[in-house]
């Protein structure tokens, strides 16, 4: 079948590919400016302490040191991404009176090189008064627990309640009810490029920043808040960005300290966090305690679910408040629960703040929910896939009072996965295949950040040679959004991909866009780019129609640079010739189009949702508990596939990250100190551990998305931990409810099982 698209769906090279394979791609890490200084940050060694005194005199005397700043050099404001709620803006970044976790910044130095700056840190004397600290949220909500923030009752940072139907009544009607507890661990983002920034204040008081970020607009706005500046006096540019995964859209210590130092000196200051700082003093995936109650009829109809969740917030609100909300909503996903109730509490602790990470609360809810669903299936004697099929969402379903599902290919995904499992036939001993269903949003509808701008915006300019320039505040952090947006622009205009350039993530030249988080850019930024391109196209068509002298009832279109009558494609004119004429005809004004997208009347969560089902096969060594991830097969639907190579990459990459979440990644702590802050000690999946991956793409069309597309980034991180848990159970009959499912836990559970068997 020939595709109705010319560019969309083609296997293309990313538009920045050659730069990346030749080493010429420039990251913030590579930026060097004339007169530039290097900064380092001094951090609290105490989980909770009063700052009594900071003496910077010796540090300032060190030759090569140009400035030392502390909280006193700031305006004392607090940043927060939930800007609508001042009480949730709680992070000073440079602490003035109190530090709240090991890693909280207390001072920063700018010097002629990193070694000198490092040496100066040792010369800063900070007198602390250590305070009692609390590390576990279940301890922190007790009456007599130490207060992380003054005046916050029971250390509860924020709570969320979601409810529909009559949950209590529904539980009374259930034939079977399960109550289970789960614990979801922490996870570090481990972006290959650590957080970094080059901040440069001019003598004109204007600030220019190069930084590795997922949202230049957020960083610009948060700088404006913290420095009491006008947004437009701040230019934030994300260059090539070495990964984000949720860690890079709040103002961070590298960005803020570099700016404060540069403000004093009017010299550019570069700060690159060390890998240790990256692990201990940025943000991380939110650890959660999950209490789930699930009720079903004998025939497998799920009547009610109740989720109670307590999350380890760490020292500050960050994006963790959003994770608390989303884990609550996605705990009902992707099933049609007629009755559902969620109560979530985010609790402050004296640990590194938890925040957004790829999947944004949904990997937690999916692990717990999919594990429990398999247990329920076993209790009822129903096949786990059948149970999912019976209750799974279908197209045009309304989640009561919450969300409208338009496209949904969950059932096709279930069919495909069932087929592949059947094909696999009988497995070797101690092998097991576990499944997990999932879904995710294509960008959030909520606006706690309180932006007055459209969620996404783009400008397209057509140059005299017919080439199109896309200007968008979207940020390409490696996920390939610039390529996706270029493909959308090229398709809409009917030109070649190489005819499109993309300028992105630069607040100086691009219209504001909320950036790369919540899997939003394909749908939201994509819609904005498509609309901007369509506006250009309609201007071009005016000239084409005039030139061709066609009957006005005929439709014109552009394909492969050929403007033609739709029903008579041979009758046409060259797009490139028409553009030349059109610009002349407009008194030399380049053709420009603007496009915006903000979801309206699409419920509370997202304008569209992706769905999928994953099957993981493990092979367990019963002697040691060690197991191998053999194969992970995913049936996935994300609407029209814009960039197939990109989706494969997102999917396989998600398995590395989510497989690690299920299998080995964790951040154990002792009294608030992270014990494995290096890549050598933080175990993640390397090439030898990586399973075989298979992708089964399911065809759907999302009416809300550009050309029918929806998200394909974060949702893929949701199922793997649950699928692994279910697979281990299928293989050797032990169920691990707390992540990660390490060989040690499997070994202990096997021993326990043996003991019980003997006791009988």
Partner 1 sequence: MKKELKLKVNGQPYELYIKPKTLLVQVLRDHVGLTGTKRGCNDSSCGACTIMLNGMAVKSCSILALQANGCEVVTVEGLAKGNKLSPLQRAFLDHGSYQCGFCTPGMLMSSTALLAENPKPTKEEIKEGIDGNICRCTGYNSIIRAVTAVVKGEYKEAK
**Shortest distance in whole angstroms from residue 267 CB to partner 1:** 18
**Shortest distance in whole angstroms from residue 399 CB to partner 1:** 31
Q: Which residue in 570, 687, 755, 760 binds partner 1 (CB under 8 A)?
A: 687
Order of strands across the sheet that contains 302-314: 156-164, 339-348, 302-314, 288-296, 176-184
Cβ within 8 Å of residue 403, ≥6 positions away: 329, 603, 604, 605, 606, 609
Q: Which residue in 5, 9, 10, 17 binds partner 1 (CB under 8 A)?
A: 17
Q: Does 21 bind partner 1 (CB under 8 A)?
A: yes
Q: Does 545 bind partner 1 (CB under 8 A)?
A: no
Q: Does 478 bind partner 1 (CB under 8 A)?
A: yes
**Shortest distance in whole angstroms from residue 221 CB to partner 1:** 24
* Choices 19-27, 48-56, 438-446, 733-741 (CB under 8 A): range interacting with partner 1: 19-27
Q: Does 240 bind partner 1 (CB under 8 A)?
A: yes
d(CA 691, CA 161): 38
Q: Point out which residues pair with 314 in neighbouring strands.
A: 348
Q: Which residue in 557, 585, 690, 748 binds partner 1 (CB under 8 A)?
A: 690
- For 553, phi and psi rounded to 5 degrees? -80, -10
**Taking the CB of residue 4, how many other CB atoms lie within 10 A of it?**
8
- For 177, phi and psi rounded to 5 degrees? -130, 135
Q: Which residue in 96, 149, 178, 275 binds partner 1 (CB under 8 A)?
A: 275
**Shortest distance in whole angstroms from residue 21 CB to partner 1:** 4
Closer by beta carbon to partner 1, 31 or else 405: 31
Closer by beta carbon to partner 1, 212 or else 371: 212
**Taking the CB of residue 88, how many other CB atoms lie within 10 A of it?**
21
Closer by beta carbon to partner 1, 630 or else 679: 679
Closer by beta carbon to partner 1, 14 or else 598: 14
**Shortest distance in whole angstroms from residue 525 CB to partner 1:** 17
Closer by beta carbon to partner 1, 534 or else 684: 684
Query: How far is the first Cα of the chain from the last one, in angstroms, to the nearest whole number?
Result: 62
Q: Which residue in 14, 200, 215, 742 binds partner 1 (CB under 8 A)?
A: 14
* Choices 2-10, 26-34, 97-105, 316-324 (CB under 8 A): range interacting with partner 1: 26-34
Q: Does 19 bind partner 1 (CB under 8 A)?
A: yes
**Shortest distance in whole angstroms from residue 213 CB to partner 1:** 13
Number of residues counted as binding partner 1 (CB under 8 A): 56
Q: Within 13 Å, how many C-alpha atoms sit on residue 230's CB side?
A: 4
CB 723 within 8 A of CB 371: no
Cβ within 8 Å of residue 110, ≥6 positions away: 37, 38, 39, 65, 66, 67, 68, 117, 261, 262, 264, 265, 267, 269
Q: Which residue in 5, 9, 10, 16 binds partner 1 (CB under 8 A)?
A: 16
**Shortest distance in whole angstroms from residue 695 CB to partner 1:** 10
Closer by beta carbon to partner 1, 21 or else 138: 21
Closer by beta carbon to partner 1, 30 or else 535: 30
* Residues present in the chain in total: 760
Taking alpha carbons only, the member of 123, 104, 120 closest to residue 39 is: 120
**Shortest distance in whole angstroms from residue 186 CB to partner 1:** 16
Q: Does 34 bind partner 1 (CB under 8 A)?
A: no
Cβ within 8 Å of residue 658, ≥6 positions away: 359, 363, 716, 717, 718, 719, 720, 721
Q: Which residue in 592, 684, 701, 743 binds partner 1 (CB under 8 A)?
A: 684
Q: Does 369 bind partner 1 (CB under 8 A)?
A: no
d(CA 517, CA 455): 12
Closer by beta carbon to partner 1, 26 or else 230: 26
Q: In a 3-state reduction of DSSP, which class is residue 676?
A: coil
CB 539 within 8 A of CB 591: yes
Helix H or strand E encompassing 558: strand 556-559
Q: Which residue in 107, 110, 191, 417 binds partner 1 (CB under 8 A)?
A: 191
**Shortest distance in whole angstroms from residue 688 CB to partner 1:** 5
Taking alpha carbons only, the member of 660, 635, 642 closest to residue 717 is: 660
Closer by beta carbon to partner 1, 180 or else 652: 652
Q: Which residue in 23, 34, 151, 381 binds partner 1 (CB under 8 A)?
A: 23
What is the sign, positive or negative, of the torsion defined by CA atoms of 265, 31, 449, 285?
negative
d(CA 230, CA 234): 7
CB 596 within 8 A of CB 528: yes
CB 270 within 8 A of CB 119: no
Q: Does 118 bind partner 1 (CB under 8 A)?
A: no
Q: Does 729 bind partner 1 (CB under 8 A)?
A: no
Q: Which residue in 187, 693, 718, 737 binds partner 1 (CB under 8 A)?
A: 693
Site for partner 1 in 598-657 (CB under 8 A): 645-646, 648-649, 651-657
The DSSP secondary structure of 343-361, one letter per residue, reads EEEEEE-SSSPEE--TTTT
Q: Does 678 bind partner 1 (CB under 8 A)?
A: yes
**Shortest distance in whole angstroms from residue 275 CB to partner 1:** 4
d(CA 137, CA 157): 11
Q: Does 63 bind partner 1 (CB under 8 A)?
A: no
Backbone φ/ψ region at 635: left (φ over 0), alpha (ψ -120 to 50), beta: beta
**Shortest distance in whole angstroms from residue 227 CB to partner 1:** 29
Cβ within 8 Å of residue 148, ≥6 positions away: 48, 100, 134, 140, 155, 315, 348, 349, 350
d(CA 76, CA 476): 32
Q: Which residue in 680, 755, 756, 758 binds partner 1 (CB under 8 A)?
A: 680
Q: Does 450 bind partner 1 (CB under 8 A)?
A: no
User: Which residues contact partner 1 (rule: CB under 8 A)?
Assistant: 11, 13-14, 16-27, 29-30, 189-194, 240-243, 245, 274-276, 477-480, 645-646, 648-649, 651-657, 678-680, 684, 686-688, 690, 692-693
């Amino acid at each position: 079948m020939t595709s109705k698209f010319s560019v969309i769906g083609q296997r293309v090279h990313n538009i920045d590919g050659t730069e990346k394979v030749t080493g010429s791609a420039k990251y913030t890490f590579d930026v060097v400016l004339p007169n530039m200084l290097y900064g380092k940050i001094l951090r609290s060694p105490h989980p909770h302490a009063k700052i009594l005194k900071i003496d910077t005199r010796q540090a300032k005397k060190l030759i090569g040191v140009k400035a030392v700043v502390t909280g006193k050099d700031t305006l004392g404001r607090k940043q927060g991404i939930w800007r609508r709620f001042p009480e949730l803006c709680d992070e000073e970044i440079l602490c003035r009176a109190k530090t709240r976790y090991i890693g909280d910044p207390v001072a920063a130095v700018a010097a002629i090189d990193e070694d000198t700056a490092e040496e100066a840190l040792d010369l800063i004397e900070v007198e602390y008064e250590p305070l009692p600290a609390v590390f576990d949220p279940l301890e922190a909500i007790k009456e007599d627990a130490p207060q992380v923030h003054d005046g916050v009752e029971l250390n509860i940072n924020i709570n969320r309640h979601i409810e529909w139907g009559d949950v209590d009544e529904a539980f009374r009607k259930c034939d079977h009810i399960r109550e289970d507890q789960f614990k979801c661990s922490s996870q570090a983002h481990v972006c290959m490029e650590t957080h970094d920034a080059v901040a440069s204040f001019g003598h004109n008081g204007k600030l220019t920043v190069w930084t590795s970020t997922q949202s230049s607009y957020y960083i610009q706005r948060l700088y404006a808040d913290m420095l009491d500046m006008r947004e437009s006096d701040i230019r934030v540019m994300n260059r090539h960005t070495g990964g984000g995964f949720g860690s890079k859209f709040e103002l961070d210590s590298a960005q803020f300290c570099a700016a404060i130092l540069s403000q004093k000196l009017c010299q550019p200051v570069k700060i690159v966090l060390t890998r240790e700082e990256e692990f201990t003093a940025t943000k991380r995936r939110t650890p959660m305690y999950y209490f789930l109650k699930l009720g079903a009829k004998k025939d497998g109809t799920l009547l009610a679910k109740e989720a109670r969740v307590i999350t380890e917030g760490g020292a500050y609100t960050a994006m963790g408040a959003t994770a608390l909300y989303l884990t609550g909503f996605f705990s009902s996903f992707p099933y049609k629960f007629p009755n559902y109730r969620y109560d979530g509490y985010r609790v402050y602790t004296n640990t590194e703040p938890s925040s957004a990470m790829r999947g944004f609360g949904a990997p937690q809810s999916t692990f717990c929910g999919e594990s429990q669903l398999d247990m329920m299936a076993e209790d009822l004697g129903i096949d786990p896939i059948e149970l999912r099929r019976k209750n799974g969402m279908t197209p045009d379903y309304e989640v009561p009072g919450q969300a409208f599902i338009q496209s949904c290919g969950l059932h096709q995904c279930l069919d495909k996965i069932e087929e592949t499992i059947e094909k696999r036939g009988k497995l070797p001993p101690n092998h097991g295949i576990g499944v997990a269903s999932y879904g995710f949003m294509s960008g959030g509808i909520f606006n706690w950040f309180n932006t007055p701008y459209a969620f996404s915006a783009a400008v397209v300019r057509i140059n005299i040679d017919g080439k199109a320039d896309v200007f968008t505040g979207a940020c390409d952090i490696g996920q390939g959004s610039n390529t996706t947006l270029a493909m959308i622009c090229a398709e809409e205009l009917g030109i070649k991909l190489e005819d499109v350039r993309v300028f992105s993530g630069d607040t100086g030249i691009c219209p504001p866009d909320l950036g790369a988080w919540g899997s939003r850019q394909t749908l939201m930024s994509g819609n904005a780019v498509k609309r901007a391109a369509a506006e250009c196209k309609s201007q071009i068509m005016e000239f084409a129609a005039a030139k061709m002298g066609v009957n006005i009832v005929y439709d014109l279109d552009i394909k492969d640079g050929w403007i033609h009558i739709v029903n008579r494609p041979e009758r046409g004119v060259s797009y490139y010739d028409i553009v030349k004429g059109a610009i002349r005809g407009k008194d030399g004004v380049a053709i420009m189009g603007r496009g915006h997208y903000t979801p309206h009347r699409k419920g509370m969560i997202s304008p569209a949702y992706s769905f999928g089902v994953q099957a993981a096969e493990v092979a367990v060594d019963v002697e040691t508990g060690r197991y191998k991830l053999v194969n992970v097969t995913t049936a996935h639907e994300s609407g029209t596939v814009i960039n197939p190579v990109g989706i494969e990459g997102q999917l396989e990459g998600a398995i590395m990250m989510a497989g690690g979440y299920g299998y080995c990644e964790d951040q154990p702590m002792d009294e608030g100190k992270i014990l494995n802050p290096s890549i050598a000690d933080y175990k993640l999946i390397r090439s030898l551990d990586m399973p075989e991956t298979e992708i089964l793409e399911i065809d759907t069309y999302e009416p809300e998305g550009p050309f029918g597309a929806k998200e394909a980034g974060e949702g893929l991180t949701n199922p793997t931990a649950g699928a692994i848990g279910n697979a281990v159970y299928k293989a050797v009959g032990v169920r691990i409810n707390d992540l990660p499912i390490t060989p040690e836990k499997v070994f202990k559970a096997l021993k326990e099982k043996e003991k019980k068997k003997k006791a009988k």
